[in-house]
A and B are shown apart, each in its own frame.
Chain A
Amino acid sequence: MAESAIRSATVHAGAAKAQRAGEKWAPWILLAPTLVIMNVVGVYPLLHSLYISFTGAKPTDPNAHQGWVGLKNYAEVVSDGQFWHAVLVTGGFTALSVVSSLVLAVLMAILFNRPLPGFVLMRSLILIPMLVTPIAVGLIWRIMMMPELGVLNYLFGIVGLGPFQWGSSRGSALASVVLVDVWQWTPFMFIIIFAGLKSLPRSPFESAQIDGASGWQTFWQVTVPMLKPVIVIAVLLRLIDAIRTYDTIYIITRGGPDFVTDVVSIYLQRVNFRFFDLGYGSALSWVTMLLILAVVLIFVNLSGFLRIVNEKEAR
């Protein structure tokens, strides 16, 4: 009797051991498909492009030296005026677009935070631009911005303004693509900031009212600081996205006229897939990625993003 009890206990212990081993491997088995796919379509191409960037790969030119060239491509990047021009254009485009959409999004969030009739419907309609494919957005705006046939010049004409050249003039091309980007992505910022605003506790705002703060003081000294974590995240996401913008700009201006809207992604596309200068193009891509990383890190540090995250976790 006692013996059988011991035996059964041993059997149980064995089963438990087997189960524990299963627990050890289960996560890997479950993650395997994802890991395989990620490595095949993500990690491998990335590493391969790093390799290519050290070669003279140019499939369209049989006479070129396609093999290892060391740091030659990177040295060329440093002195490539066209690339650094594109970096400046991208910086200008990004700064204008992110700042404008942030300001608009905060204003809209505050506006929609009050219960007024029709606002629920409006709030939903506002999100539409974000849902449209960027290519379609580009096409729609290109048609609307046509100097002779476009609806924008027609509308401005009614109130006695214009005609404007929009994307086809050196002076207004960058502003035009910024306008489209702001139109498309302000809703995204709005929805994040609006959600943040909604989740703020009510009582600090009531305290501010009682304590004697004016609307303006409340906005700058209570609303904005309390929204800061949300604003930082929204700006961070927008920042990364704006730097990578390609499709709308490509459709509207193709980087022109005279390269005033020639952002890095368009320049990269040109080098890689028009000239098929893959080695040099890959080097450019890697430099661009490092620049984005640098911008993000600088922003993360300046904004106190990590401190915000840590404070939340500490609670």
Chain B
Amino acid sequence: MRTVFQALASYLLRRPGQLGFAVIGMAVGVAVIVAVDLANESARRAFNASLAAVTGMTTHQIVGGPTGLDEELYIDLRLKGIRSIAPIVEGYVTVGGEVFQLLGIDIFAEGSFRDYRATGNGLDVGGSALGLLIESGGVLMVDRTARKLKLKPGDGFAVEVAGHAHHAVVVHLMDGETTNRGLDRVLIADIAVAQEWLGLVGRLSRIDVRLSGELQDETSVTALAELLPADARLVDAAGRNRATLEMSAGFNTSLTAMSLLALLVGIFLIYNSMSFMVLQRRPMIGVLRALGVTRGQLIAALLTEGLLVAAVGTFLGVLLGVLLGEQLVVLVSRSLNDHYFVVRVTEVSLSQFSIFKGIAAGLLATLIAVSVPAMEAASYAPRLSLARSVVEERAHSLLPWIALTAAFMVLSAVVILVISKVSLVAGFVALFLTIVGAALLVPLIVKIAIPVLSMSAGIMAGLPGRLAVRGISRSLSRTGVAIAALTIAVAEIVGMSVMVGSFRDGVEDWLGNALRSDIYVTAPGPGGSRVERRIDPALVKRLVRVQGVSHYSASRRVWIETVSGRTQLQAVRMAPESYAGFEFLGGDPGTIWPAFDAGEGVLISDPYAYRHGLSRGDSLTLPTIQGERDFTVLAIYRDYDSGQGVVTLSRAAYIKHWQDQAITSLGIYLEPDADNGTVIDALTRTAAGHQALLVSSNQEIREWSLRIFDRTFVITDVLYWLAMIVAFVGVLGAVLALSLERGKELAILRALGMTRLQVASLVAIQCGTMGLLAGLLALPVGMLSGWLLIHVINRRAFGWQIDMTVPGDALVAALAIAILTALLASLYPAWRVTRWAPAATLREE
């Protein structure tokens, strides 16, 4: 056994490059998996910690409409003797350009709800917390946040809410290192302060309820629920948190999607690296067999060796993954903050599970990657495996079976897609099967394509050309795998470009259609649908009278708590132009609009319809101020704004049902002769001194939206460049193996009189052809995976319906990338081949 190891090892050690590639391939694969998983896990943890810290010991919550609850409800409950409740006023504020959640509390009611342990000894705490009442504008924050903002207790700073600046004072710091870990992005203020800053005087965002533990009293859930008015509901806090998490389902699934994608890429990478390592040594395995090494010994030795390499590769991969994860986490949290919540992912939490996932993927992929070729190699009769021709013959004879397997995989993918209607994981399994199936078909296609290609190569490059191309077919067992690897990598790029490209086109079209106004005026602030984002009513009146303004549309965007989680509600006062901004997916606008204007129903966005399984004519239940009420779905419209979906209704209907007159944004239409810039200046001047509003042109909004879109997909860019590196390493390994193995053949060619250049070009042509083949094959496979990404993965993850557009330039680029990668990979082998002295090489063999 030792001899076997020594033999195998010495072979590898004499070719450190190949060993290196295997280790690097392995490491990159594991790193990708670990990095994405760590980034996702860190984001998720930060998110959960923040939610947990803010929820505290709350078991239930009383929630109301878009503007929350009347505070009198709380007073009333307290005066009735119900004590295990605490009022909360919350919203988002900006401090020095950074977003924070403002949590307005009544320190007297907080009691056992939340743990605001402060720094220093307990002595200061109480007095300092009372400072919230004493100090006007007093806030508490965790020490870490204060350090970041360069603040200390007693310091004043500005808090901005919807264009208003308020004066805040740091009352005291809480310990953020050991306890309040989720409060990094939270400022705590007295409820009165929060109401005034957020413009929610008289309202509560919610009432936290604790109905268990030491505070349990005779108030049961039902008894409490019966005390509530029509516009308030008692909900389970854990359930609501779950719903909040689900609302960020987009958030969660997009993370999962990324993680799965990384897993897919990583496993391919590991498989490629490891199987190459075995395949390269097939002749040597034959020798060993001939020397009397049993099959079992051989397989065991190869597996052990593979696992050793895997161990090194995995170890490096985990290290690399952690480093990479730290970079990715920045991207992940940025795209999170754009879309979902304010979470500061301060650190990569080294999740053992993420690392375990990487290690498991590394080892499992290695086992499969090594065992299949090892068993195959070990199964030959000792003498036979020495002969390349036998291997190749076998490879050729296996082709029909492989093709059959491929067909079976693709078929299973189809079956899985049909059976699983919404599961994202199933979608990925199908994508995986399709890609693997396509990869398995590659050798067969190569075999069929080679005669044609070799003929044309012969015409173009003469004998070396024909030899080169024929060589691909003759070493199919090796070239097939390399081409397949490159095909998959390029196909991924094609698939992703098709998806992202189509998506971007869709968004661009939609923006062009949906953004009708010339100028948009919005109360600034994080979160598109936060209740505190409102334009001062008095200011609205003055803004729409500015010179050059012809007419306007107005909208209010809020969240509303429904039985099935939180729903984004959009109330629109339509301008004549606004109607055309909605693209209905079915139905007659001629009948829909009159019904909408009459307040007879609502419009829902496509993702909302998808997520809630609603069609035109169905009805959905929303809690209004008068209690729950059914709304008819008048139409479904295209929308890329929210993955969670939006319910749109007329402003009149909204005011009637929720009694909220506020306006989040105005769409200004200009007089025909008015100048955009002049009116923007006039609007800004009008608002100056009252409220710092965002006044943007149509063009700016469009560009800004697309910028956010592109930013979101930076992560996918990173991922597919990683996939490309993987493929490059794969091809390089294959070509290297090929040229090493065929050293003798090439030496004979040299001996027969071929120049170095001819031999080198033979290698290059061979590689180029492989690249060409991979590129050509990648196009249909890529289109197919693009289709799957668009219609399965994207739909399931985000609910978006996207029309597939095929970006021609991306396809050409993909082809070029495939060929260039292959040529690049051929440089080193070609150079090496020219170094060989024919005689020496022949003698060696």
Please indicate whether A and B come from the same complex rather than being unrelated chains. Answer: no
